[in-house]
Amino acid sequence: MLFGRGISWGRDFFPDVPRFYYKIIASIIMAIPILTIFLPTIRREIARRYKYETIPVWHLFFAFLFLGIADIAEHRRLGYQWLVLDPHRKDLIEELMEIPCLLSLALTTFYMQKNEQKRLNKTC
């Protein structure tokens, strides 16, 4: 997500560069984590965590909720007229909705790492 945000800012700072180049960069950046799912070690770890660890559902719910709200503001989707009352503040609303999304993702990561540390301390 952070790389995607960087590409978005790149489009803002370099508007003369054709969008095609940004789409290529975004495709490569999104393909890397998707392709890693096919590695056997990653798949085993995902399966283990899904089976034996609790997943912070509320953190993930809020991350997707605020990401959806930011997407509404950015792409003028359904509900845009109620979310963005002043079109000049569209970018501000979008960025403000991404902050809780990133915070929720950080909390999810922190929670999972804390549980992993507890598991490793028990096995040692």
- What span, in angstroms and rounded, lies between the C-alpha atoms of 89 and 91? 6
Give 96 or 84, the one with higher predicted confidence: 96
Confidence of residue 6 (pLDDT cuts 50, 70, 90): low
Query: Does 8 score more than 70 pLDDT?
Result: no
Helices and strands (DSSP H and E) totals, the chain: 6, 0
Quick one: what percent of the chain has pLDDT higher than 70? 87
How far from 97 is each of 43, 44, 71, 81, 122, CA to CA, in Å? Answer: 31, 34, 9, 16, 39
pTM as predicted: 0.68
Query: Does 38 score more than 80 pLDDT?
Result: yes
- What span, in angstroms and rounded, lies between the C-alpha atoms of 12 and 94? 14
Task: Report the pLDDT averaged over residues 80-106.
Answer: 81
Residue 40's φ and ψ, nearest 5 degrees, are: -60, -40
Tokens of 21: 């180049």
